[in-house]
């Protein structure tokens, strides 16, 4: 079972949704970096369930450092994070035992672990495991910010409702705006329509998905590998490690299929003594290596599979066809919470790539 991500900077996950706690171990951090714990809390809050558009399972998500930190400063040794599960309700899952919930990993987990897996709340497959990812990502994102590397994600669309697009001329201002908003949209009136759509789905015992768009500003040129550890393949692997992600595209992505080469190519020019491209159709990456332009990619988040509507399924122990209705506390949409996880996995991936290029201690930045 592979629960470790990264090469130079690694993050190892542990725990289950209804176990006593979840957490992670970050290895490869530099020594001497002071963690902004207020920023860490703000990032954790972006993932937490709040209000009617999220699950009724409200967890405090308080981050406890078990090792690797002294007086708020990294020691350079493995940093262990623990987050307690304080609001579990396992009885909601007693009627679902041995049933394959459509869209979930119940059947595949049964095939992989032969009945020994913890199925309560999805066990190790639960989105609950994204909480320690956000904690790890927050710390690494703070390190990247010290080098002028900024990350922001917005809900580009939700069930057909589209937000405004990023503007190359005002990216930094838009990114700062998004990082200060609980519901990550550029157009607040569009955001209200999206939230109404989520409430509508909940009332009809259904769920919705959408597309997240991420931008990275300040990434230097020359990071990545031309083949198997390209910037795109590493970021894609990171995104697909997030539950509910079913697609990733960079730059124009699948729209490239509609373009001529003359439309798809990004012309180069010298601007203020730097090599830049006039457009950014390729999303800041050429040949698997960053070119210094903003990295831009989109991530598809599928509708939450736990819905209270009657669905056809099977009992994989008795090998009988049956029906299922999933009740309990579930999100009618997770896209607004997944935004924090995408930001975190982006930070983890870029920190690992930069540590591979410059060494781990480089992440600490200047004194």
Residue ranges for the known binding site for FMN are 124-126, 287, 302-306, 329
Distance of CA 133 to the CA centre of its chain: 8
Compute the distance between CA of residue 140 and CA of residue 135 in angstroms, rounded to an integer.
9
Please state the residue numbers annotated as binding site for NADP(+): 47
Over the Cα atoms of the chain, what is R_g? 21
Please state the residue numbers annotated as binding site: 47, 124-126, 287, 302-306, 329
């Amino acid at each position: 079972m592979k629960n470790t991500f990264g090469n130079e900077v690694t993050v190892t996950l542990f725990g289950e949704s209804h176990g006593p706690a979840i957490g992670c171990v970050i290895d490869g951090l530099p020594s001497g970096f002071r963690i902004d714990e207020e920023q860490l809390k703000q990032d954790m809050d972006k993932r937490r369930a709040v209000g009617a558009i999220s699950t009724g399972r409200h967890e405090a998500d308080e981050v406890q450092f078990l090792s690797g930190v002294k007086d708020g400063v990294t020691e350079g040794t493995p940093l262990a994070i623990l987050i307690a599960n304080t609001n579990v309700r396992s009885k909601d899952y007693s009627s679902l035992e041995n049933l394959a919930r459509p869209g979930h990993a119940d059947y595949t987990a049964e095939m992989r672990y032969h009945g020994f897996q913890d199925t309560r709340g999805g066990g190790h497959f639960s989105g609950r495991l994204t909480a320690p990812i956000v904690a790890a990502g927050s710390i690494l994102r703070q390190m990247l910010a010290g080098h002028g590397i900024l990350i922001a994600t917005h809900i580009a669309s939700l069930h057909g409702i589209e937000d405004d697009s990023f503007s190359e001329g005002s990216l930094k201002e838009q990114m700062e705006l998004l990082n200060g908003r609980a519901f990550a949209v550029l157009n607040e009136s569009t955001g209200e329509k999206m939230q109404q759509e989520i409430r509508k789905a909940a009332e009809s015992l259904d769920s919705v998905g959408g597309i997240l768009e991420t931008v990275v500003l300040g990434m230097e040129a020359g990071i990545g590998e031309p083949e198997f550890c390209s910037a795109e393949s590493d970021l894609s692997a990171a995104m697909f490690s997030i539950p509910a992600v079913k697609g990733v595209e960079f730059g124009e992505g699948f729209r490239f299929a509609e373009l001529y080469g003359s439309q798809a190519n990004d012309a180069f020019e010298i601007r203020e003594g730097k090599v830049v491209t006039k457009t950014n159709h390729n999303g800041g990456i050429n040949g698997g290596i960053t070119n210094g332009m903003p990295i831009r990619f989109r991530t598809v988040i599928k509708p939450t599979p736990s819905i209270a509507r009657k669905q056809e399924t099977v009992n994989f122990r008795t090998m009988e066809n049956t029906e299922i209705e999933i009740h309990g506390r579930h999100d009618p949409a997770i896209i607004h919470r997944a935004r924090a996880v995408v930001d975190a996995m982006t930070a983890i991936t870029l920190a690992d790539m930069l540590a591979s290029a410059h060494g781990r201690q480089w992440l600490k930045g200047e004194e």
